[in-house]
Structure 1
């Protein structure tokens, strides 16, 4: 079962048109946009992607290197070239992080001859009659590669201006601001926390749309499933919690609870199957919650200390937890690609 919603720090919308040309064509996309920023991360842009007949990507631009931040209506433009191998021309708007992002008056021009641009008739260029997040007449939420899934951090609405013209209003909320979170910790601990959030985001993007069957998949009896690897991440993290925060090893109850996840293998294949992805991510979130709470009580001097008579200090140990996390995310992404193929 696929999720009804996904979680991410950006959203986009798209309209696609078929292209069939034996030669290269020039294009110009333009639209009016304004942004009400909630932080420096609040950014918007227009975007264009051409898909070739062989499935590869031709032209691509999402204005990431020149993002829109103005809170006044202004017209923005993307210009480029459609080559003769293009089959689909995708275009739309994109926004990042928290904020209010407004779009209207999309126009597309294509130069079919050497002299003049011809305006292409678009579907619903001013976004009238939005009935639901995934029901924008003429448009789709997403980037056009697969069926749209609602992004839970964003809401989309048609807004009517005083002159009765309409525009698309996208509002992003509850997206984590890493810079603000780092301020809650001492400098070096704040950097560790930022790295955890970055890895959490990478893991979530990789797995949140997987079915339970995909989560349970493993190559052979000596390998592990995605679900087992995520629960293993939780087991390793909690072992370092008791090591560094409490200066001890697992007690008998903890050992019994986490042993299978810690060591993986055939026992983990049998125990961790049949669950949806949120089962695993929720366990990891609960373990992480304790990590964040405990780190708030500590400072950078603590990082220099050692526990359990170890030659390695606490900073080294938590960097190892992050390295371990990153290593297994790589495995998870590899497994996902094998499943997709």
Structure 2
């Protein structure tokens, strides 16, 4: 085939514009520029006030999945959050800090063009990012509120930075080594919360009676 290769980002953008155009024609009172989700209901996934449509939808997914991490574990004591199932496991508390650390490193990579944590963030978050023996030694003795506050603090930075950006940015940003665009990177952050929420559930079901 001699036709020029289609730039997939341009195609995605044009496809999105076409779909939005059709939606505007068929539902004139629910244009994509206006929020269609209830910001009072975390179970409504979709565009949010203050963000472009796809970024708002991504944020609503991030908020939903991180909320499940906190809500599922809300009754656990400090001792239960520190429970170590076996010498090679990670505690539920350390996994909570790990998902927050993952969000931070993707902030540094996508918002600031870094390949790793900034020096300040590395000092604060690297143990939680790497987990293992250091995390087993250092991340303990904290109530659930400590981990919730950490996730909330990190999410506030994500939202602040995402408000400065648009859907074109989200669909761009391929990197040399991965060939992931920014949307894929931030979808990975979202599924990382879900993935480790599964681990937390497994550990929680095996807590000593």
TM (normalized to structure 2)? Answer: 0.74
Residue matched to 1:21: none
Match of 2:131 among 236, 244, 264: 264
CA distance in 2, matches of 1:204, 1:276: 12
Match of 1:305 among 172, 193, 196: 172
Once the 2 structures are TM-superposed, how far is the Cα of residue 209 of structure 1 from its aligned partner? 1.1
CA distance in 2, matches of 1:340, 1:199: 26
Greater helix share, structure number:
2
CA distance in 1, matches of 2:141, 2:135: 12
Change (3 A) 1:313 1:197: same
CA distance in 2, matches of 1:180, 1:306: 22
Once the 2 structures are TM-superposed, how far is the Cα of residue 184 of structure 1 from its aligned partner? 2.7
Residue matched to 2:199: 331
Residue matched to 2:104: 238
Change (3 A) 1:181 1:286: farther
Change (3 A) 1:192 1:305: same
Are 1:219 and 2:76 matched, yes or no? Answer: no
Residue matched to 1:81: none
Change (3 A) 1:179 1:199: closer
- Where structure 1 has 5 or more consecutive residues not aligned to the other structure, the ranges are 1-39, 42-96, 98-173
Once the 2 structures are TM-superposed, how far is the Cα of residue 308 of structure 1 from its aligned partner? 5.3
Question: What are the superposed Cα offsets for residues 15-65 of structure 1, whole Å, 9 maximum, x if unpaired?
Answer: xxxxxxxxxxxxxxxxxxxxxxxxx98xxxxxxxxxxxxxxxxxxxxxxxx
Structure with the bigger RCO (C-alpha within 8 Å, sep 6+) is 2
TM (normalized to structure 1)? Answer: 0.47
CA distance in 2, matches of 1:250, 1:235: 9
Which structure: larger Rg? 1
CA distance in 2, matches of 1:307, 1:270: 37
CA distance in 2, matches of 1:283, 1:242: 16
**How many residue pairs are counted as aligned between the two chains?**
171
Change (3 A) 1:225 1:177: closer
Root-mean-square deviation (CA, aligned residues, Å) is 2.4
Retained in 2: the 8 A contact 1:196–1:322?
A: yes
Once the 2 structures are TM-superposed, how far is the Cα of residue 238 of structure 1 from its aligned partner? 0.2
* Misfit runs of 4+, over 2 Å: 174-181, 251-254, 307-310
Are 1:202 and 2:68 matched, yes or no? Answer: yes
